[in-house]
Amino acid sequence: MSQAIFFHAGCPVCVAAEQQFIGALDPARYEVEVVHLGQDTARVAEAERLGVQSVPALVVDGQAFHINYGAPLSALK
């Protein structure tokens, strides 16, 4: 089981990505943790360390994928 982390900030672009995209991942192989950086600002540094530059973003197997564009990470600090 691999872990995937979906970082978002509650924006409309984020919600669309979460509902229609994250649900498409293989549940047999990926456990997806959803982190709302607007509420959980303590994890912004972790997201940065993982290479996240904007939300929404999905980190799979240690690599950050930016999906569309909602907000820059700097807006959440």
Interface with a copy of itself (CB under 8 A)? 4, 16-17, 20-21, 24-30, 58, 60-61, 63, 65-69
Cα(1)–Cα(47) distance, rounded to whole angstroms? 21
Q: CA torsion 2→42→66→4, rounded to 10°?
A: 10
Q: Could you tell me the smallest distance in angstroms from the CB atom of residue 27 to a copy of itself? A: 7
Q: Which CB, 27 or 74, lies closer to a copy of itself? A: 27
What SS3 state is found at 73? helix
Q: Could you tell me the smallest distance in angstroms from the CB atom of residue 35 to a copy of itself? A: 18
